[in-house]
Chain A
Amino acid sequence: MRKPKHEIQGAGCAGACCLRVEHLGVDMGGADILRDVSFHLHCGQIVALIGPNGAGKSSLFKAVLGQIPHSGTIEFQKAGGKHTRPLIGYVPQSPAFDRGDPVSVFDFFSAAISSWPVFLPTPKSLRRRVLSCLERVHGADLIDKRMGALSGGELQRVLMAMALEPLPHILILDEPLSGVDIDGERQLLDMLDEICNQYDLSILLSTHDFATLEEYADQVILLKSTVLKVGAPGEVLSSDEFKSVFHLDLGKGAGT
């Protein structure tokens, strides 16, 4: 278990730096994808979103990112209670890159963070800036590789470095562990922990990998159209709601 970094944990936002989602609903083509979703996300916390396929995890991310219309409110407040629009870094679910595309990591990165056209010769300062961003995820050696030639773990690291520039208030990762091997997974989780500690931002990620939840997540949200259970990883994994959703039993102390 990780140490709590804020005195005010639990239900309320009070004066802490926090994202507050209240009664969020998403309706697509007449079907309720999400209804009455409420939770709080504190700065410095890693929150894992779990739920079966089609539970609305990606829709929830899209709603928070403002890409689809939703009901309810999404509010962000900085420490001290000042409300502001949150800056969100988004790491999409490992996108498929065409292996032949002549897009190098540098091209992709600089297209996103600067307005210098990527087809012109590169200024040294821009290259240094991209290098220092990649350094955050220990990926400086990837800069001249083509996007299509990256492994799943390397791609996730590059996308994460991109989401951290400019430094966001909230980092959202859509299934960062899918398509990543065991070593890559270990590396990614350590990195998330490092980023969370170093920059004091909140991390919201979705995952299907329950075995490692307890190592890194401060809070787990079990989602299936609505929030079924929120709490510490052990608590959620051993809950009745978890068992009935997944028909399996992983939590410590299960069966007692």
Chain B
Amino acid sequence: MGQFVTEIKSGGGIAVDDTIQVKGYETKAGSRILEGFRPLFSAEAVERLERAGYDIAGKSAVGEFGLDLLGEFAYGAETCDTLRGAAAELVAAGTVKGALCVDLNGTPRRAAALSGVDFLKPTYGTVSRYGVIPCACSGEQIGVAAKTAGGVRELLRVVAGHDPKDGTSLPAETYDYHDGKAAPGMRVGIVKELYGAASDEQKARVTACAERLRGMGVAVDEIALPLADAARTAWNLCLCAETCNNVSRYDGVKFGYRSPDYRNIDELYVNSRTEGLNFLTKFVILYGSDVLSKGRYFTCYDKALKVRRLVAEQVKALFKDYDALLCPACSETEYRPYDIKDAFMTVFAESLFTAVPNLTGIPAMVSGGVQFMADALRDSDLLNLAEALEGGNAS
């Protein structure tokens, strides 16, 4: 078992990422700045699981605020040789039945692809974000990891549905997730810009998946998404700008870590944040602050929001002809620890494969080591595709 588990009290239940509040558990979002913070309430998704009779097994560690590649910079985590993500490892090992994970910049999708489990980042707004430690609210989303598509579907049906406590929650009270198209007869497009950027091993996974899909009556073509690279830049600009604002609340006064070394309130703020946040988060804050500043706002942040619309329109147009897009979830099949000074650009590079769903709110599912994307609210189609590939019922 990997090094990233923070606190698993019982096996067989549901692990919850450390960026999601669970009453009674320390919830530090992988950061020293929230060390010792025990929330007064659980996230809505957690409460729904508990009301449905599921046990919360414990917290699965994440990198600070979920900003890193695979949880490698979780505060207090031991080092390991291979990075695979805590929640995905717990699911793969059978220690837990499933996991709730926040998809901020693709981390749970990468982890699922590397650990051989399924993960669905549902359509934005279908699962309440109430109780999530926020970073980039406009695109982060709680998703579900499980060993099979059937397991994802089971848990997703419990946690999805309107929550009046979340202002971005969509109005549907429940979602069926059994109402998708049958896999045979679907049209799937391989995104050439993402396929071409992956390693030979990842390309082989996608190619093998495409062959299996063709064998079950799915039409598979290569398609172009010319704005894929722009989507990555736009999402990372939005992420940094929003995170900069959201983590400004951590100042050593109200909760979490407080530096013991200060002579006045300015030193209290500066020392607590300097000692409590890691270099990756500091860079995200500084860059996010810069792109929101006078003189940079219109050329950076405003531009990113306009590109976001263009990407959404380009993706929407593809879904007129295709039911799903197929691509790798990450460039490699194995990741090793690296220095935090390289973290931002490492994550930026890998977010090429994951940024479009975060930027546009569409669902994305990793199964069998590859990633599928579908139009908004077509999550069921992704579950059907994954289930068909797993040899289960295709509709």
A and B together in one complex: no
A-to-B contact residues, CB < 8 Å: none
